Amino acid sequence: MTVEAETRNIPHFIGGRAVTAVASRTSDVFDPNSGRVQARVALGTASELQQAVDAAQAAQPAWAAVNPQRRARVMFEFKRLVERDMDDLARLLASEHGKVVADAKGDIQRGLDVVEFACGIPHVLKGEYTQGAGPGIDVYSMRQPIGIGAGITPFNFPAMIPLWMSAVAMACGNAFILKPSERDPSVPVRLAELFMEAGLPAGIFQVVHGDKEMVDAILDHPAISAVSFVGSSDIAHYVYRRGVDNGKRVQAMGGAKNHGIVMPDADLDQTVADLCGAAFGSAGERCMALPVVVPVGQDTAERLKAKLVPAIEALRVGVSTDAEAHYGPVVTAQHKARIEQWIQTGVDEGAELVVDGRGFSLQGHEDGFFVGPTLFDHVTPDMSAYREEIFGPVLQMVRADSFEGALALPSQHQYGNGVAIFTRNGHAAREFAARVNVGMVGINVPIPVPVAYHSFGGWKRSGFGDHNQHGEEGVRFWTKVKTVTQRWPNASGAASGSSLSDAFMIPTMK
């Protein structure tokens, strides 16, 4: 692999400034379009984390004491700055991730949607109040920040997912330490710089880079009270267990294998367009991608396949800056090899390979990490290529004989992130939404990522912990509730006239 003469070093962002550590270990950051190393990122240690925690501890109490309206104003200004720099941020993101620039803008925009939600934080932070809960007694509750929170994020949404977590955490009055993916770490550092420009105090949003060593340091640090993780399921489960063992609050979102159910009455032209976008957009590297399609009935399967195959063969794979491309390269050479290995496994397990995307080469970009679109038919639930997440541009068709058979597939799968049903039948859609054992459901919506003021979270091995991302769920995760029971005696004595003997009983409001 060629390393360019002047390789850029991507710094940590600690205490309000870029910090270039003298790291004993670094990780290469590629341009997936060319296959070349374009930068290096330091893999940090407990020592850099300690610097970040020190800065967070120094800054957080004053930030929590700032009234929520002023914290919201920082979010408003940050949103303006990101919009100002949208083109540059999207190009930078695409150059490390490989998604096309228009899709990179969507990644940033979905993060900004959560920033917009955080602009309304004064309203959602209002507590509860009961006047006269007992004689002369009032009860009120308030939400207070947890203190210092950390986010550990995956490569596939380097802007959206850090903003899901940090915007809500910081608006609630916390300091936030981000450990982004080491594969595309530049945009998170730019976000840190923009937060400073927006007026956020130093030490409230910080970025420490690294791999397992840094993640373990975060999970073991006693001053970090809450950890939000998004990534693959085995690591999500590990992070959840280790964090909880250390007494932290942890939410850990994992992998996915989302199904799209196609009923016999579905509008097939619309469904094919939706399936192509959801299965192959961003090269299938989305946790809300739709890599499994389940036509109900053999006739539906044949009609769908007849339309799907030419649509897939017409897809344009190109570099991130190609405005006509439907999708770009995958993130690394290792990931490309892994996807191609899964395609081989599907063949070995007996599925019918209808469109083969292996060995795809883009003229002029022969070393880029491109994988062509791939379609399998006659995939069955016993195949490991069906059970596991591939996270590439591979669509698998699993044929079902009935609505009940189709409903059982996503319900019984180990993952339960998202699912979609395509139908004109309102009753079938309603039944499906009520009964399917999956966290997020689309009805004629292929990628049902909830809007920012609702919340995002999957079930089963797609999510460990009990709070979703963003919306009011996010506010609950990043705050703790304090409840006050108060009695104010009047000038002449006790408010409720309780006697000495009463004082020995468990208080009741009788």
Q: Where along the sequence are the contacts to ligand NAD (CB under 6 A)?
A: 152-157, 179, 181-182, 211-212, 215, 230-232, 235, 253-256, 287, 389, 391, 417, 458, 462
- Whose Cβ is closer to ligand NAD: residue 63's or residue 240's? 240
Residue (of 407, 423, 381, 402) closest to 297 by Cα position = 402
User: Smallest gap, in angstroms, from Cβ of residue 407 to ligand NAD?
Assistant: 22
DSSP one-letter code for 349: T
User: Smallest gap, in angstroms, from Cβ of residue 157 to ligand NAD?
Assistant: 6
Chain position carrying tokens 């990179």: 104
Q: Which two tokens stand for residue 62?
A: 């004053």
Q: Locate all alpha helices (DSSP H) within 413-448, ordered by sequence.
A: 426-435
- 31 SS3 class: strand
User: Smallest gap, in angstroms, from Cβ of residue 219 to ligand NAD?
Assistant: 8
Say which residues have a Cβ less than 8 Å from residue 227's Cβ, sequence separation at least 6.
149, 150, 151, 152, 218, 219, 239, 243, 248, 249, 250, 251, 252
Q: Locate all alpha helices (DSSP H) within 141-182, ordered by sequence.
A: 160-171
- Whose Cβ is closer to ligand NAD: residue 255's or residue 329's? 255
Active-site residue flag, 276: no
CB atoms within 10 A of CB 231: 22
Compute the chain's Rg from CA coordinates: 25
Q: Which two tokens stand for residue 382?
A: 């016993």
Is the Cβ–Cβ distance between 379 and 350 less than 8 Å?
Answer: no
User: Smallest gap, in angstroms, from Cβ of residue 245 to ligand NAD?
Assistant: 14
User: Smallest gap, in angstroms, from Cβ of residue 345 to ligand NAD?
Assistant: 17
Which residue has the CB atom at the shortest distance from ligand NAD? 231
Query: Which among 119, 172, 276, 287 is annotated as catalytic?
Result: 287
- Whose Cβ is closer to ligand NAD: residue 33's or residue 468's? 468
Which bin fits 199, alpha (ψ -120 to 50), beta or left (φ > 0)? left
List Cα–Cα distances, 37 to 34, 61, 99, 163, 362, in angstroms.
9, 41, 17, 27, 18
3-state helix, strand, coil in the chain (%, to 5): 40, 25, 35
- Whose Cβ is closer to ligand NAD: residue 71's or residue 221's? 221
Phi, psi of 504 (to 5 degrees): -90, -10
User: Smallest gap, in angstroms, from Cβ of residue 381 to ligand NAD?
Assistant: 19
Residue (of 442, 438, 477) closest to 461 by Cα position = 438
- Whose Cβ is closer to ligand NAD: residue 178's or residue 194's? 178
CB atoms within 10 A of CB 2: 9
User: Smallest gap, in angstroms, from Cβ of residue 165 to ligand NAD?
Assistant: 11
- Whose Cβ is closer to ligand NAD: residue 237's or residue 487's? 237
- Whose Cβ is closer to ligand NAD: residue 154's or residue 393's? 154
Residue (of 176, 147, 165) closest to 64 by Cα position = 147
- Whose Cβ is closer to ligand NAD: residue 38's or residue 153's? 153
Pairing of strands 148-152, 226-230: parallel
User: Smallest gap, in angstroms, from Cβ of residue 69 to ligand NAD?
Assistant: 31
Task: Give catalytic residue positions.
Answer: 287
